[in-house]
Amino acid sequence: MKLIYDLDHEALVSLCLDNGFKRFNADQLFKWLYRKRETSFENMSDLSARLRGFLAENYSIGLLKTLRLQVSRDGTRKYLFELSDGSSIETVLMHYDYGDSICVTSQVGCNMGCTFCASGLLKKQRNLTAGEMVSQLLTVQKDIDELGIRVSHIVVMGTGEPFDNYDNVMTFLRIANHDLGMGIGARHITISTCGLVPMIRRFAEEKTQYNLAISLHAPNNELRSRLMPVNKAYPLEQLMEALRYYCQLNNRRLSFEYILLKDVNDTDECVSQLVDLTRQFDVYVNLIPYNHVDENGYVSTDYKSAMQFYNKLMSRGVRCTLRQKHGDDIDAACGQLRSKYEGGRKNDQQN
């Protein structure tokens, strides 16, 4: 059965009109789903009995099953959810001064193969539907409703490559952003990509107000190809050209994500190359402490060296932030909770 959360407002309008209901019924339904966050059609008291019956017969509704919830000392909440086909995914909520940001997963596993990332330990099984991404948002929001917290920001930075699941991600964001629903502002929404160039161009042409973050992580092709296989398909020259195109069409600031790996991408040579790469853009560089992953040999740059890297960039005119670590005491690295859980499940099955 199709998930009701797969349908954006426009699709709900068509659904209503095609089946002999009224256009305003779509508004009512949308508000029930995302403002009141009602999880049973039966309780949607201002919908006709016929519409409620029609919906219940044809669409599924309801929150995701929470397999695990870890709450960190700093307030980070990390959820392991189960999807209807039994797959498990991670969603994280992080608290900042400016609000509460949800990190949404876009695929079950990931095929991009970045060598430092725990998500890639489990290969892509499938794309998430728009509704499954909406469900992450709704389930987390329902969980924190009682704490009086509202999700104010979305980053599509969980497991998966959002531009490898482009249409579903865009539908999800339209639903999250819609005025009649949760109304999360487009400027509070960020999509992060490892650099799928054709999709960056497509995104550029859509002229949304969403923020675009690029997982750069290395300022030259030799190193970037080593860290991120996607760079072999779309090397830095092509990536930068696509970003120039994006900036021409959109008057938006870009951000570059740069995890700091000791003795790998934190050298003075990297500083100079990064200065050259960023010069041509209105860009913010987010320096990110690396969350240790057991399965690979990378080590995070220590705090003092990270500060030095930051200062060198700043003194050469690159705007950047050194992000603080979140959820240090829980399995906060992307895909870590899930890969441990799935690993445990495999062992259980073997025993």
Query: Which residues lie near ligand SAH (CB under 6 A)?
Result: 112, 114, 116-118, 157, 161, 192-194, 215, 217, 257, 259, 288, 290-291, 293, 333-334
Map residue 101 onto helix, strand or coil.
strand
Q: Which is nearer to ligand SAH, 88 or 215 (CB)?
A: 215
Non-local (6+) Cβ contacts of 80 within 8 A are 66, 67, 68, 69, 88, 89, 90, 337, 338, 341
Nearest CA to 289 out of 264, 318, 260 is that of 260
Map residue 174 onto helix, strand or coil.
helix
* Whole-angstrom distance, CA of residue 107 vs CA of residue 119: 10
Q: Which is nearer to ligand SAH, 30 or 132 (CB)?
A: 132
User: Token pair 């020259």 is at which residue?
Assistant: 237
Supply the minimum distance, in Å, between the C-beta of residue 308 and ligand SAH: 19
Supply the minimum distance, in Å, between the C-beta of residue 13 and ligand SAH: 32
**β-bridge partners, 108:** 126
Supply the minimum distance, in Å, between the C-beta of residue 170 and ligand SAH: 15
Q: Which is nearer to ligand SAH, 33 or 170 (CB)?
A: 170
User: Token pair 């050209």 is at which residue?
Assistant: 241
Nearest CA to 140 out of 95, 180, 177, 185 is that of 95
Q: What is the DSSP letter of 96?
A: E
Q: Which is nearer to ligand SAH, 16 or 274 (CB)?
A: 274
Supply the minimum distance, in Å, between the C-beta of residue 129 and ligand SAH: 18
Q: Which is nearer to ligand SAH, 44 or 230 (CB)?
A: 230
Percent of residues in the chain assigned helix, strand, coil, to nearest 5: 40, 20, 40
Q: Which residues form the catalytic set?
A: 90, 334
Supply the minimum distance, in Å, between the C-beta of residue 259 and ligand SAH: 5
Supply the minimum distance, in Å, between the C-beta of residue 122 and ligand SAH: 13
Q: Which is nearer to ligand SAH, 44 or 169 (CB)?
A: 169
Taking the CA atoms of residue 140, residue 332, residue 81 and residue 108 in that order, the dihedral angle to the nearest 10 degrees is 120
| Phi and psi, residue 334, nearest 5° | -50, 125
* Whole-angstrom distance, CA of residue 239 vs CA of residue 93: 30
**Region of residue 173 (left: phi > 0; alpha: psi -120 to 50; beta: else):** alpha
Q: Which is nearer to ligand SAH, 26 or 197 (CB)?
A: 197
Supply the minimum distance, in Å, between the C-beta of residue 330 and ligand SAH: 13
Q: Are 34 and 175 in contact (CB under 8 A)?
A: yes
